[in-house]
Structure 1
Amino acid sequence: MSDPICPGSIERLLEILEGKWTLLLLRHLFNGIKRFGELRRALHPISPKTLTDRLRLLEERGIVTRTVYSEVPLHVEYQLTERGRRLEPIFIAMGVWVQSEASDPKNELVSKSLSS
């Protein structure tokens, strides 16, 4: 069996999750179906173009699905695919790591980010 954290694996994950807003966007989608406006408010000050670009990229990569409802008023909903849901344990592990590091006074950067 190959090493699950070999450099190639990490590089591929970073390619899939590229972009400043992608991780934050996914964090909000872990909480369920969201409309564009909900995501935009949650990720303020993200621009509509950037949000659209991130969502399209995630849709192309099979992480997010986009559903258009043609009723009046027209609305679009975004949700994670099964592939996207499989990223959740990674986010949980990162959160656990940050929490554990925050208790170490030498980790000023981690402690500072949790208090802001």
Structure 2
Amino acid sequence: MAVALATDAETIVRVLAILHRKWTVHILCRVIADPVRLGQLRRAIPTASKKGLTASLRLLEEADIISRRDLSDSRLHVEYELNEAIRKPLTELLNCLVGASVVLACSDDRRPIQRGPTSGGF
């Protein structure tokens, strides 16, 4: 695996900025397997508003990460799916982030657990 160079920093910052947007990681984890409809996302992420999910979906579409497919006939039917070119790298990135969370010992409240001499840490 190649080591990130200092010249890669801006690219990494742009990727992290996209992932840091509200609901983005939740959406990506859902669409990575199968196309989804907005209603499915709302049920999968009940704390997200329709407006918030729609805004995040639009940003992901603008970034060419997902595609919006209008399958409407007599009633509205729109699906969102991950663009195939990003599927493998995104899957690897998300898996790396899960691995990093284990290494960093992140707790459920999303703050790193403090390790010190009394806790038997590093």
TM-score bracket, shorter-length normalisation: 0.7 to 0.9
Task: Return the TM-score normalized by structure 2.
Answer: 0.75
**Map of 2:107 onto structure 1:** 111
Q: 1:27-54, CA deviations, whole angstroms, 9 ceiling, x for partnerless residues? A: 1111211111001111111010110000
Q: Which runs of 5+ in 2 are unaligned?
A: 111-122
**Map of 2:117 onto structure 1:** none
**Map of 1:97 onto structure 2:** 100
Task: Return the TM-score normalized by structure 1.
Answer: 0.78
Q: Which runs of 5+ in 1 are unaligned?
A: 103-109
The worse-fitting range, judged by mean Cα deviation, of 28-37 and 7-16 is: 7-16
Aligned residues: 107
CA contact (8 A) 2:22 2:56 kept: no
**Map of 1:36 onto structure 2:** 38
Q: Percent identity?
A: 36
**d(CA) in 1 for partners of 2:27 and 2:64?**
15
- Higher Cα Rg, which structure: 2
